[in-house]
Amino acid sequence: MSKVATAATIAAALLIVPASAADPSAILDKPHDCIIEPFIATELGSAATGILEELLVDRGSRVTKGMVVARLRSDLEQASLNIAKARAESTAIIELGRERVSLLKKEASRITELHGKQISSTAQFDKTLSELQQAVLQLRQAETDQEFAVLEMRRAAALLDQRTIVSPIDGYVIKRLMAPGENVFEQAKIMKIAQIDPLRIEVHLPIAAFPLIKVGMTAEIRPSQPVGTVHMATVSVIDNVLDAASDTFGVRLILANPKHEMPAGVNCTATFPFLGR
Protein backbone atom coordinates (compact mmCIF):
# COMPACT_ATOMS: atom_id res chain seq x y z
CA MET A 1 0.00 0.00 0.00
CA SER A 2 1.36 3.41 -0.91
CA LYS A 3 2.14 6.07 1.63
CA VAL A 4 -0.58 8.28 0.13
CA ALA A 5 -3.23 5.58 0.59
CA THR A 6 -2.10 4.94 4.15
CA ALA A 7 -2.35 8.61 5.02
CA ALA A 8 -5.85 8.79 3.51
CA THR A 9 -6.96 5.77 5.54
CA ILE A 10 -5.71 7.30 8.78
CA ALA A 11 -7.41 10.60 8.00
CA ALA A 12 -10.70 8.81 7.29
CA ALA A 13 -10.44 6.87 10.56
CA LEU A 14 -9.92 10.08 12.50
CA LEU A 15 -13.09 11.48 11.00
CA ILE A 16 -15.12 8.47 12.14
CA VAL A 17 -15.45 9.56 15.77
CA PRO A 18 -18.52 9.32 17.94
CA ALA A 19 -20.42 12.59 18.00
CA SER A 20 -20.24 12.63 21.78
CA ALA A 21 -16.45 12.55 21.74
CA ALA A 22 -16.22 15.26 19.11
CA ASP A 23 -18.84 17.51 20.76
CA PRO A 24 -19.60 16.79 24.43
CA SER A 25 -22.33 19.43 24.44
CA ALA A 26 -24.30 17.24 22.01
CA ILE A 27 -24.61 14.67 24.79
CA LEU A 28 -26.45 17.14 26.97
CA ASP A 29 -28.97 18.00 24.27
CA LYS A 30 -30.21 14.43 24.55
CA PRO A 31 -32.59 13.36 27.34
CA HIS A 32 -31.05 11.60 30.32
CA ASP A 33 -33.01 9.51 32.78
CA CYS A 34 -33.51 11.06 36.20
CA ILE A 35 -35.75 10.75 39.22
CA ILE A 36 -37.62 13.43 41.15
CA GLU A 37 -37.31 12.97 44.91
CA PRO A 38 -38.38 14.89 48.02
CA PHE A 39 -35.89 17.53 49.08
CA ILE A 40 -35.93 16.02 52.58
CA ALA A 41 -37.49 12.79 53.82
CA THR A 42 -37.14 12.33 57.56
CA GLU A 43 -38.36 9.80 60.10
CA LEU A 44 -39.47 11.49 63.32
CA GLY A 45 -38.39 10.04 66.63
CA SER A 46 -38.60 11.29 70.18
CA ALA A 47 -36.03 12.56 72.64
CA ALA A 48 -38.18 11.12 75.43
CA THR A 49 -39.42 7.59 76.04
CA GLY A 50 -42.90 6.54 77.05
CA ILE A 51 -46.33 5.64 75.74
CA LEU A 52 -47.56 7.28 72.54
CA GLU A 53 -50.80 8.93 73.57
CA GLU A 54 -52.06 10.41 70.29
CA LEU A 55 -51.19 10.99 66.64
CA LEU A 56 -52.61 14.23 65.29
CA VAL A 57 -51.92 13.58 61.59
CA ASP A 58 -52.43 10.72 59.16
CA ARG A 59 -50.79 9.59 55.95
CA GLY A 60 -51.11 12.31 53.32
CA SER A 61 -51.64 15.09 55.87
CA ARG A 62 -49.89 18.34 55.12
CA VAL A 63 -47.73 19.61 57.97
CA THR A 64 -45.82 22.82 58.63
CA LYS A 65 -42.58 23.40 60.49
CA GLY A 66 -43.25 23.50 64.25
CA MET A 67 -46.68 21.89 63.96
CA VAL A 68 -47.54 19.37 66.68
CA VAL A 69 -47.96 15.94 65.07
CA ALA A 70 -47.91 13.58 68.08
CA ARG A 71 -47.86 13.51 71.87
CA LEU A 72 -46.54 11.10 74.46
CA ARG A 73 -48.32 10.50 77.75
CA SER A 74 -47.14 13.26 80.09
CA ASP A 75 -49.10 13.08 83.37
CA LEU A 76 -45.98 12.79 85.52
CA GLU A 77 -44.09 15.53 83.67
CA GLN A 78 -47.07 17.89 83.90
CA ALA A 79 -47.35 17.29 87.66
CA SER A 80 -43.62 17.94 88.09
CA LEU A 81 -43.95 21.20 86.18
CA ASN A 82 -46.89 22.30 88.32
CA ILE A 83 -44.90 21.69 91.51
CA ALA A 84 -41.81 23.44 90.17
CA LYS A 85 -43.90 26.38 88.98
CA ALA A 86 -45.54 26.76 92.41
CA ARG A 87 -42.12 26.82 94.08
CA ALA A 88 -40.71 29.28 91.56
CA GLU A 89 -43.64 31.66 91.95
CA SER A 90 -43.69 31.56 95.75
CA THR A 91 -41.94 34.62 97.22
CA ALA A 92 -43.17 34.37 100.82
CA ILE A 93 -39.77 33.40 102.29
CA ILE A 94 -38.02 36.21 100.43
CA GLU A 95 -40.58 38.77 101.54
CA LEU A 96 -40.30 37.54 105.12
CA GLY A 97 -36.52 37.78 104.93
CA ARG A 98 -36.63 41.31 103.58
CA GLU A 99 -39.00 42.37 106.33
CA ARG A 100 -36.72 40.89 108.98
CA VAL A 101 -33.63 42.58 107.50
CA SER A 102 -35.44 45.91 107.39
CA LEU A 103 -36.50 45.57 111.03
CA LEU A 104 -33.02 44.56 112.20
CA LYS A 105 -31.42 47.45 110.31
CA LYS A 106 -33.61 49.86 112.26
CA GLU A 107 -32.74 48.05 115.48
CA ALA A 108 -29.03 48.11 114.64
CA SER A 109 -29.20 51.82 113.88
CA ARG A 110 -30.86 52.53 117.24
CA ILE A 111 -28.44 50.31 119.19
CA THR A 112 -25.46 51.89 117.42
CA GLU A 113 -26.65 55.34 118.46
CA LEU A 114 -27.19 54.22 122.08
CA HIS A 115 -23.85 52.42 122.15
CA GLY A 116 -22.16 55.58 120.94
CA LYS A 117 -23.68 57.40 123.92
CA GLN A 118 -22.58 54.54 126.16
CA ILE A 119 -26.19 53.83 127.03
CA SER A 120 -26.28 50.36 125.44
CA SER A 121 -23.89 47.58 126.35
CA THR A 122 -21.29 46.23 123.96
CA ALA A 123 -22.81 42.77 124.24
CA GLN A 124 -26.19 44.04 123.10
CA PHE A 125 -24.53 45.97 120.27
CA ASP A 126 -22.63 42.88 119.05
CA LYS A 127 -25.73 40.70 119.30
CA THR A 128 -27.83 43.09 117.20
CA LEU A 129 -25.17 43.35 114.47
CA SER A 130 -24.79 39.57 114.44
CA GLU A 131 -28.54 39.06 114.06
CA LEU A 132 -28.59 41.59 111.19
CA GLN A 133 -25.75 39.81 109.41
CA GLN A 134 -27.49 36.45 109.81
CA ALA A 135 -30.74 37.91 108.44
CA VAL A 136 -28.93 39.31 105.39
CA LEU A 137 -27.31 35.92 104.70
CA GLN A 138 -30.64 34.14 105.09
CA LEU A 139 -32.23 36.57 102.63
CA ARG A 140 -29.46 35.91 100.10
CA GLN A 141 -29.97 32.17 100.54
CA ALA A 142 -33.72 32.56 100.00
CA GLU A 143 -33.10 34.55 96.81
CA THR A 144 -30.64 31.89 95.59
CA ASP A 145 -33.19 29.16 96.33
CA GLN A 146 -35.72 31.15 94.34
CA GLU A 147 -33.34 31.30 91.35
CA PHE A 148 -32.81 27.54 91.55
CA ALA A 149 -36.58 27.05 91.69
CA VAL A 150 -36.98 29.06 88.48
CA LEU A 151 -34.28 26.94 86.79
CA GLU A 152 -35.98 23.76 88.00
CA MET A 153 -39.27 25.03 86.55
CA ARG A 154 -37.59 25.62 83.18
CA ARG A 155 -36.09 22.15 83.32
CA ALA A 156 -39.49 20.63 84.07
CA ALA A 157 -41.01 22.61 81.19
CA ALA A 158 -38.29 21.35 78.83
CA LEU A 159 -38.96 17.75 79.86
CA LEU A 160 -42.66 18.28 79.26
CA ASP A 161 -41.95 19.79 75.83
CA GLN A 162 -40.07 16.64 74.88
CA ARG A 163 -43.34 14.75 75.20
CA THR A 164 -44.70 16.77 72.27
CA ILE A 165 -43.45 15.81 68.79
CA VAL A 166 -43.34 18.61 66.23
CA SER A 167 -42.58 18.58 62.52
CA PRO A 168 -39.11 19.94 61.66
CA ILE A 169 -40.11 20.75 58.06
CA ASP A 170 -42.97 21.79 55.81
CA GLY A 171 -44.24 18.80 53.90
CA TYR A 172 -46.50 15.76 53.92
CA VAL A 173 -46.80 12.67 56.07
CA ILE A 174 -45.66 9.71 53.99
CA LYS A 175 -46.23 6.96 56.54
CA ARG A 176 -47.27 6.45 60.15
CA LEU A 177 -44.90 3.96 61.74
CA MET A 178 -46.50 3.70 65.20
CA ALA A 179 -49.99 3.76 66.69
CA PRO A 180 -51.34 5.23 69.95
CA GLY A 181 -50.61 3.00 72.93
CA GLU A 182 -47.27 1.76 71.62
CA ASN A 183 -44.07 2.26 73.59
CA VAL A 184 -41.76 4.94 72.18
CA PHE A 185 -38.10 4.20 72.87
CA GLU A 186 -34.81 5.75 71.79
CA GLN A 187 -34.55 4.11 68.35
CA ALA A 188 -38.29 4.11 67.59
CA LYS A 189 -39.60 6.06 64.61
CA ILE A 190 -43.09 7.51 64.87
CA MET A 191 -43.74 8.71 61.31
CA LYS A 192 -42.04 9.70 58.07
CA ILE A 193 -42.42 13.20 56.61
CA ALA A 194 -41.23 14.50 53.23
CA GLN A 195 -40.58 18.05 52.05
CA ILE A 196 -41.50 18.56 48.38
CA ASP A 197 -40.73 22.25 47.98
CA PRO A 198 -38.22 22.37 46.52
CA LEU A 199 -37.79 18.99 44.87
CA ARG A 200 -34.47 17.20 44.42
CA ILE A 201 -33.58 15.68 41.06
CA GLU A 202 -30.79 13.14 40.64
CA VAL A 203 -29.31 12.45 37.19
CA HIS A 204 -26.16 10.68 35.97
CA LEU A 205 -24.35 12.12 32.96
CA PRO A 206 -21.48 10.76 30.82
CA ILE A 207 -18.02 11.72 32.05
CA ALA A 208 -17.38 13.45 28.71
CA ALA A 209 -19.80 16.18 29.80
CA PHE A 210 -18.11 16.77 33.15
CA PRO A 211 -16.16 19.91 32.08
CA LEU A 212 -19.34 21.55 30.78
CA ILE A 213 -21.62 21.18 33.81
CA LYS A 214 -21.47 24.04 36.30
CA VAL A 215 -23.37 24.80 39.51
CA GLY A 216 -26.19 27.24 38.78
CA MET A 217 -26.86 25.99 35.26
CA THR A 218 -30.46 25.26 34.26
CA ALA A 219 -31.92 22.13 32.76
CA GLU A 220 -35.27 21.15 31.30
CA ILE A 221 -37.04 18.46 33.33
CA ARG A 222 -39.79 16.39 31.76
CA PRO A 223 -41.50 14.23 34.39
CA SER A 224 -43.41 11.09 33.54
CA GLN A 225 -46.31 12.55 35.52
CA PRO A 226 -47.95 14.91 34.71
CA VAL A 227 -47.30 13.89 31.11
CA GLY A 228 -46.12 16.60 28.73
CA THR A 229 -45.08 19.16 31.34
CA VAL A 230 -41.67 20.84 31.27
CA HIS A 231 -39.99 22.46 34.28
CA MET A 232 -36.74 24.34 34.75
CA ALA A 233 -34.36 23.08 37.43
CA THR A 234 -31.01 24.42 38.65
CA VAL A 235 -27.81 22.44 39.16
CA SER A 236 -26.90 22.51 42.86
CA VAL A 237 -24.39 19.67 43.31
CA ILE A 238 -21.84 18.08 40.98
CA ASP A 239 -20.08 14.92 42.13
CA ASN A 240 -16.31 15.32 42.06
CA VAL A 241 -15.79 11.57 42.39
CA LEU A 242 -16.62 9.97 39.05
CA ASP A 243 -17.91 6.44 38.50
CA ALA A 244 -15.41 4.72 36.19
CA ALA A 245 -17.49 1.52 36.06
CA SER A 246 -20.47 3.25 34.43
CA ASP A 247 -18.45 6.10 32.86
CA THR A 248 -20.83 8.61 34.49
CA PHE A 249 -20.96 11.19 37.27
CA GLY A 250 -23.82 12.33 39.44
CA VAL A 251 -25.57 15.71 39.28
CA ARG A 252 -28.22 17.04 41.63
CA LEU A 253 -30.72 19.68 40.55
CA ILE A 254 -33.23 21.71 42.54
CA LEU A 255 -36.74 22.32 41.23
CA ALA A 256 -38.98 24.90 42.88
CA ASN A 257 -42.43 23.52 43.72
CA PRO A 258 -44.20 26.25 45.74
CA LYS A 259 -47.74 25.10 44.92
CA HIS A 260 -46.90 21.41 45.48
CA GLU A 261 -48.30 20.61 42.05
CA MET A 262 -45.37 18.34 41.15
CA PRO A 263 -45.36 15.00 42.99
CA ALA A 264 -42.15 13.40 44.22
CA GLY A 265 -41.05 9.87 43.48
CA VAL A 266 -41.57 9.98 39.70
CA ASN A 267 -39.20 9.30 36.83
CA CYS A 268 -38.14 12.06 34.49
CA THR A 269 -35.69 13.05 31.76
CA ALA A 270 -33.26 15.96 31.90
CA THR A 271 -31.72 17.91 29.05
CA PHE A 272 -29.41 20.92 28.98
CA PRO A 273 -30.50 22.57 25.71
CA PHE A 274 -28.94 25.97 26.38
CA LEU A 275 -25.44 24.68 27.00
CA GLY A 276 -22.84 26.23 24.71
CA ARG A 277 -25.39 28.28 22.76
Secondary structure of 182-226 in HEC code, one letter for each residue: CEECCCCCCEEEEEEEEEEEEEEEEHHHHHHCCCCCEEEEEECCC
Confidence category of residue 11, pLDDT binned at 50, 70, 90: very low
Tell me, what's the pLDDT at 25? Answer: 67
Ramachandran angles phi, psi of 274, nearest 5°: -95, 0
Is the pLDDT assigned to residue 21 strictly greater than 60?
Answer: no
Mean pLDDT over each residue of the chain, to the nearest integer: 88
| Torsion sign over Cα 47, 49, 52, 58 | positive
Residue with the larger pLDDT of the pair 188 and 114: 188
More confident residue, 101 or 122: 101
pLDDT of residue 125: 78
- pLDDT tens for 37-91 read 999 999 999 999 999 999 999 999 999 999 999 999 999 999 999 999 999 999 9
Average pLDDT of the segment spanning 9-22:
43
pLDDT (tens digit per residue) in 205-252: 999 999 999 999 999 999 998 888 999 999 999 999 999 999 999 999
Q: Is the pLDDT of residue 123 over 70?
A: yes
pTM of the entire predicted model:
0.72
How does residue 24 score in pLDDT terms, banded at 50, 70 and 90? Answer: low
